[in-house]
Amino acid sequence: MKQISILGSTGSIGRQTLEVVRRHSDKFKIVALAGHSNVDLLEAQVKEFKPEVVGISDEKIYAREKHRFSGLTVLSGADALIEVAGLNKADIMVAAVSGMAGFLSTLKAVECGKTVALANKESLVAGGKIIKETAKKTGAKIYPVDSEHSAVWQCLEGNNSRSLQKIILTASGGPLYGKGSEELKNTTIEQALAHPTWSMGKKISLDSATMGNKALEILEASVLFDTHNIDYVIHPESIVHSIVEFTDGTHIMQASPPSMIYPIGLALSYPDRIDNDKMPFAFNKPLNFLPKDEINFPLPKLAKQALKTHEGAPLVFNASLEAVDYLFLNKTIGFGHISIIVAKILEEVDFPTLNTAEDVVKAHNEVYEKVLAEYNK
């Protein structure tokens, strides 16, 4: 029985992880759950999965609602995440918090040598070097939950990493692929969040509409798989989750239904595979691979440039994207401003040197605050 803790259990990935646990209660046991503000859902999850430890990272909500969890160890504040991440009892920690709020807890789990099922790509984009160096020292394993990275991981299994030529991530294109610049400028929040294939949290849904998500995924893949040779292709059906090109000209692709249940299940059960619903392949339906639109969706190109520029540039990309996402979702800036501001910030700032976790947190906060100071008007 694998003992699992979930940080961000009330979010989209958290809920789907619990669905995997629900279907495979003979294999997985929940020992800790942490949410931020949605205590109604957290309470329901606690009743069903009976963890020993509960984290509520929003302190005000903790103070008001902790009585709901009497008899359990209830941790509060940002430190709650770090404490839950370090819990001795958990074999696997699912990092499912969204944004940089998940960084220190992800690092803590790695410091404790745990297996981390990593959905929180922002941690790796900003603090990849430190997380990887720490994992090397402690023996912690990082198994990707992001479907594209899970696909690359699976394609690389059994192959020598020296044979890796290129990673080609797939992208659904989000709700806006194919639209022209005039139409895109006036995109509303509702249009940006209406993803055609995936049901996800707000930030990643918006990032899918701007292609900022693919940009983060390029940076995430560079950390996970030690290469800068990463590209992407639009694949609207979201059946092939990524492709690896090998030095001998072979391409290996990974396919599964468009549901996070599959990559989450693999990250929890690896090296085994659990039973899942099988997808009867409809061989009479085409799978499309379409060209990217780097004119209207420039963020992935900016991310690739950032990779080549400086080790601190991905952090700047991530922090400025998190800040502009916040501003767009608060109706302070328009959709068309998102990539323009990220590009401008990447040109303006001095890239940080990132030797410690403190460097990462400080640099992230500085860039985030700079964007808010300049554009939150």
Summarize as ranges the residues that interact with Mg ion (CB under 5 A): 146-148
If binding is defined by CB under 6 A, does position 96 make contact with ligand NDP?
Answer: yes
Q: Would you say 376 and 332 are in contact if contact means Cβ atoms under 8 Å apart?
A: yes
Question: Applying CB under 6 A, does 114 fall inside the site for ligand NDP?
Answer: no
Regarding 201 and contact with ligand NDP (CB under 6 A), the answer is yes
User: Please, which residue, 148 or 325, has the CB nearer to Mg ion?
Assistant: 148
What is d(CA 127, CA 118) in angstroms, rounded to the nearest whole number? 13
Quick one: 303 or 310, whose CB is closer to ligand NDP? 303
Q: Considering only residues 283-312, where is the footprint of ligand NDP by CB under 6 A?
A: none
Q: Is 321 in the site for ligand NDP (CB under 6 A)?
A: no
Residue with tokens 């209406």: 194
Residues in 71-90 that interact with ligand NDP by CB under 6 A: 81
The window from 36-44, 151-159, 165-173, 344-352 that contacts ligand NDP (CB under 6 A) reads 36-44
Q: What mask of x and - would describe binding to ligand NDP in positions 179 to 198, judged by CB under 6 A?
A: -------------------x
Euclidean distance between CA atoms 371 and 322, whole angstroms: 10
d(CA 229, CA 225): 10
Residue nearest ligand NDP (C-beta atom): 11
Q: What is the 3-state secondary structure (H, E, C) of the chain?
A: CEEEEEECCCCHHHHHHHHHHHHCCCCEEEEEEEECCCHHHHHHHHHHHCCCEEEECCHHHHHHHHHHHCCCEEEECHHHHHHHHCCCCCCEEEECCCCHHHHHHHHHHHHCCCEEEECCHHHHHHHHHHHHHHHHHHCCEEEECCHHHHHHHHHHCCCCHHHEEEEEEEECCCCCCCCCHHHHHCCCHHHHHCCCCCCCCHHHHHHHHHCHHHHHHHHHHHHHHCCCCEEEEECCCCCEEEEEEECCCCEEEEECCCCCHHHHHHHHHCCCCCCCCCCCCCCCCCCCCECCCCCCCCHHHHHHHHHHHCCCHHHHHHHHHHHHHHHHHCCCCCCCHHHHHHHHHHHHCCCCCCCCHHHHHHHHHHHHHHHHHHHCC
Q: Identify which of residues 198 and 246 has a Cβ nearer to ligand NDP in the complex.
A: 198
Q: Residue 92 Cβ, how far from ligand NDP at the closest point, in Å? A: 16
| Residues 318 and 125 sit within 8 Å (Cβ to Cβ) | yes
| 300 interacts with, out of ligand NDP, Mg ion, none, CB within 5 to 8 A per kind | none
Distance from C-alpha of 232 to C-alpha of 239, rounded to nearest angstrom: 15
Q: Does 349 bind ligand NDP (CB under 6 A)?
A: no
Q: Which stretch binds ligand NDP (CB under 6 A): 93-101, 166-174, 335-343, 349-357?
A: 93-101
12 sits near ligand NDP (criterion: CB under 6 A): yes
Residue 49 or residue 270: which is nearer to Mg ion going by CB?
Answer: 270
Altogether, the residues listed in the chain come to a count of 377
Q: Is 101 in the site for ligand NDP (CB under 6 A)?
A: yes
Residue closer to ligand NDP (CB basis): 86 or 158: 86
Query: Among 122, 220, 245, 325, which residue interacts with ligand NDP (rule: CB under 6 A)?
Result: 122
Total binding residues for ligand NDP by CB under 6 A?
Answer: 27
Of the candidates 24, 38, 293, 337, which one interacts with ligand NDP according to CB under 6 A? 38
User: Which partner from the list ligand NDP, Mg ion, none does 36 bind, CB cut-off 5 to 8 Å by kind?
Assistant: ligand NDP
CB atoms within 10 A of CB 233: 17
260 or 346: CB nearest ligand NDP: 260
Nearer to ligand NDP, 11 or 352 (CB): 11
Of 111 and 146, CB closest to Mg ion: 146
Least gap, CB of 234 to ligand NDP (angstroms): 17
Minimum CB separation from ligand NDP for residue 206, in Å? 11
Token pair 């790509």 in the structure block, residue: 121
Verify binding: residue 204, ligand NDP, rule CB under 6 A. yes
144 binds ligand NDP (CB under 6 A): no
Summarize as ranges the residues that interact with ligand NDP (CB under 6 A): 8, 10-14, 35-38, 57, 81, 96-98, 101, 119-122, 146, 198, 200-202, 204, 260
